[in-house]
Amino acid sequence: MDFLDAGLARVFAQVPVDPERIAVAGFSDGASYALSRRLAKGDLVRDVLAFSDGFAAPARREGAPRLFISHGRQDPVLPFERCGRRLAAVLAHSGYDVAYTRSAAATWSRRGSSRPHSAASWPGRGGSQGQPVNERIAGMVVSVAQARITPLLRERLVPLPEVEDPDFAAFADRFAQVRVVLLGEATHGTSEFYRARAAITQRLVARHGFRVVAVEADWPDASKIDRYIRHRADTPFPNDTFTRFPTWMWRNREILDLAHGLRAFNAGREPANQVRFRGLDVYSLDASMAAVLDYLDRVDPAAARQARDRYGCLSPWHAKPERYGREVMFGAKHPCEEAVTRILHDLQEKQLAYAAQDPDAYLDAAQNARIVRAAEQYYRIMYRGSVE
Render pLDDT for 305-336 as a digit per residue (tens, 0 to 9).
Answer: 999 999 999 888 777 777 787 788 777 778 99
Q: Are 85 and 71 in contact (CB under 8 A)?
A: yes
pLDDT tens-digit series, residues 125-152 = 333 344 555 555 555 555 545 556 777 7
For the stretch 143-182, pLDDT in tens is: 545 556 777 778 888 889 999 999 999 999 999 999 999 9
Q: Is 97 helix (H, G, I), strand (E, B) or coil?
A: coil
Strand partners, 276: 212
Q: What is the CA radius of gyration of the chain?
A: 24
Average pLDDT (5-29) is 81
CATH of domain 2-146: 3.40.50.1820
The region of weakest confidence among 56-60, 115-119, 310-314 is 115-119
Higher pLDDT: 105 or 294? It is 294
CB 262 within 8 A of CB 203: no
Domains of the chain, by residue range, sit at 2-146, 168-281, 285-387
pLDDT at residue 148, as a whole number:
63
Hey, is 51 helix, strand or coil? strand
Residues 6+ apart with CB under 8 A from 69: 31, 35, 50, 53, 84, 87, 88, 91, 98, 99, 100, 101
Range list of H helices, the chain: 2-14, 29-40, 84-93, 133-146, 149-156, 191-208, 219-229, 253-266, 285-299, 301-311, 321-329, 337-349, 351-357, 359-387
